[in-house]
């Protein structure tokens, strides 16, 4: 039991730190996932969850930092009993979220490990059940985890971890994720990711006499009744399925993915930061002189955007795209996305609006 306890102690501590670091690497992405939960809960459980949406970013950084802090505190065995009870409360909360998502099929990706590791709702729920059991065991057998450093040193390490974690999260918010796990990251070719990487193969689930059976080819025996078709190699499917650009004249997707394009992304004008548009406008003018086509993508309506672009003097043609897709591509509002024949060559937060020389260097790279 002593060795089992120590294994659980190490596993739980490291996993919470890893999970927190993955999420705090991309606090905006974590906030988007929280907003998705709040939307579902406001409809299914109680309307007050909708009021939590403005606090999603704060909760994103706070909860991610808390995971890291509790993981470190567990590993250094500081305030072990209190830390284990807090971990238990957190994992009970996460278990409820993942069970709700899995059972009611409401949020198909829990965001437990951000965009780095995708888990199905039932996989996430299973993971949380395993952690729940481990933490309960640790609470019952914590006598085997005697302190190996003073409580004062443990408190100092935990406090420094908290400051560092919050700082990491805030810096990522004010810039962009340190490590990009998204399909639109620098170096990825969007048209390629919009196609299957290999021919998709399927198996057929058929039923007869109350019994299910799998077939790799559709059975010719008509006594079998079709139940469902399941992909055998789903990982070969397109990684990007929802990228689409349009305006009143029609679809503009292929045009965006051809040639050198400087794309200014404005998720929605209601929440757009307007402080850096002077630099963005200067970059647009310089790009046009260099033969780089500037354009704007937004999910706001045409009347809203017409008013907005005159307010900030944004002199570039604009097109429309799905709000969720734009937030996936760019975690800033606004942000700059540089494309060369559909390949992402640069992504910049508006706080780090590049110079035309930086844009040219990125295209040449």
- Predicted confidence (pLDDT) per residue in 5-47, tens digit: 999 999 999 999 999 999 999 999 999 888 888 888 888 788 8
Q: What is the pLDDT of residue 40?
A: 82
- Predicted confidence (pLDDT) per residue in 171-191, tens digit: 999 999 999 999 999 999 999
Q: What is the pLDDT of residue 279?
A: 96
Is the Cβ–Cβ distance between 206 and 215 less than 8 Å?
Answer: yes
Give the C-alpha separation, 114 to 182, whole Å. 10
Is the Cβ–Cβ distance between 261 and 288 less than 8 Å?
Answer: no
Burial class (CB in 10 A: 0-12, 13-18, 19+), 16: buried
Task: Give percent of the chain above pLDDT 70.
Answer: 97
Q: Is the peptide bond before 275 cis (omega within 30 degrees of 0)?
A: no
Give the C-alpha separation, 137 to 92, whole Å. 14
357 beta partners: none
Closest C-alpha to 48, from 36, 38, 34: 38
The CA-to-CA distance between both ends of the chain, in Å, stands at 56
Closest C-alpha to 60, from 163, 172, 178, 182: 172
**In the chain, domain spans:** 1-174, 202-236, 245-364
Give the C-alpha separation, 168 to 221, whole Å. 60
Phi, psi of 17 (to 5 degrees): -65, -45
Q: What is the pLDDT of residue 82?
A: 95
Give the C-alpha separation, 322 to 274, whole Å. 21
Instruction: For strands 250-251 and 246-247, give the pairing.
Output: antiparallel
Closest C-alpha to 215, from 235, 207, 237: 207
Give the C-alpha separation, 331 to 26, whole Å. 8
Give the C-alpha separation, 121 to 163, whole Å. 32
Determine if residue 210 is left, alpha or beta; phi over 0 gives left, psi from -120 to 50 gives alpha, anything else beta. Answer: left
Summary mean pLDDT of the chain = 91
Give the C-alpha separation, 198 to 238, whole Å. 9
Superfamily of structural domain 245-364: Glutaredoxin (3.40.30.10)
| Residue 365 vs residues 287, 343, 346: alpha-carbon distances, Å | 17, 12, 10
DSSP string, 29-75: HHHHHHHHHHHHHHHHT-GGGGGGGGGHHHHHHHHHHHHHHHHHHHH
Location of structure tokens 């890291």: 68
- Predicted confidence (pLDDT) per residue in 137-155, tens digit: 999 999 999 888 999 999 9
Q: If pLDDT is split at 50, 70 and 90, which confidence band does 110 have? A: low
Q: What is the pLDDT of residue 55?
A: 92
Give the C-alpha separation, 48 to 41, whole Å. 9
Closest C-alpha to 186, from 348, 335, 322: 348
- Predicted confidence (pLDDT) per residue in 43-81, tens digit: 878 888 888 888 999 999 999 999 999 999 999 999 999
pTM for the model: 0.83
| Residue 137 vs residues 1, 18, 132, 146, 297: alpha-carbon distances, Å | 10, 21, 9, 15, 51
Q: What is the pLDDT of residue 109?
A: 62
């Amino acid at each position: 039991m002593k060795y089992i306890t120590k294994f659980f102690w190490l596993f739980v501590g490291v996993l919470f730190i890893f999970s927190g670091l993955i999420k705090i690497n991309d606090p905006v992405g974590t906030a988007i996932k929280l907003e998705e939960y709040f939307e579902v809960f406001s409809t299914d459980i109680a309307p007050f969850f909708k009021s939590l949406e403005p606090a999603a970013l704060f909760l994103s950084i706070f909860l991610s930092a808390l995971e890291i802090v509790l993981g470190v505190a567990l590993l250094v065995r500081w305030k072990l009993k209190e830390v284990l009870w807090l971990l238990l409360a957190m994992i009970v909360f996460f278990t409820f979220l993942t069970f709700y998502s899995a059972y009611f099929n409401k949020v198909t990706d829990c965001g437990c490990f951000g965009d780095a590791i995708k888990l199905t709702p039932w996989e996430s729920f299973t993971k949380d059940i395993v952690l729940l059991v481990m933490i309960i065991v640790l609470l019952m057998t914590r006598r085997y985890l005697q302190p190996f450093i003073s409580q004062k040193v443990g408190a100092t390490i935990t406090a420094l971890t908290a400051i560092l974690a919050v700082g990491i999260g805030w810096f990522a918010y004010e810039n962009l994720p340190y490590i990009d796990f998204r399909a639109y990251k620098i170096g990825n070719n969007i048209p390629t990711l919009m196609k299957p990487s290999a021919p998709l193969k399927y198996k057929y689930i058929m039923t007869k006499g109350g019994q299910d059976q799998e077939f790799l080819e559709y059975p010719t025996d008509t006594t079998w009744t079709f139940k469902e078709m399941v992909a055998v190699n789903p990982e070969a499917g397109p990684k990007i399925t929802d990228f689409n650009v349009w305006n009143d004249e029609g679809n503009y997707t292929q045009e965006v993915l051809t040639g050198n394009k400087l794309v200014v992304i404005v998720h929605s004008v209601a929440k757009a930061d307007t402080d850096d548009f002077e630099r963005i406008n200067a970059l647009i003018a310089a790009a046009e002189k260099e033969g780089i086509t500037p354009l704007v993508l937004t999910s706001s309506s045409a009347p809203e955007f017409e008013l907005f672009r005159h307010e900030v003097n944004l002199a570039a043609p604009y097109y429309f795209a799905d709000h969720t897709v734009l937030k996936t591509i760019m975690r800033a509002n606004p942000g700059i996305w540089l494309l060369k024949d559909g390949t992402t060559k640069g992504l910049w937060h508006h706080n780090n609006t590049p110079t035309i020389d930086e844009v040219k260097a990125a295209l040449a790279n």
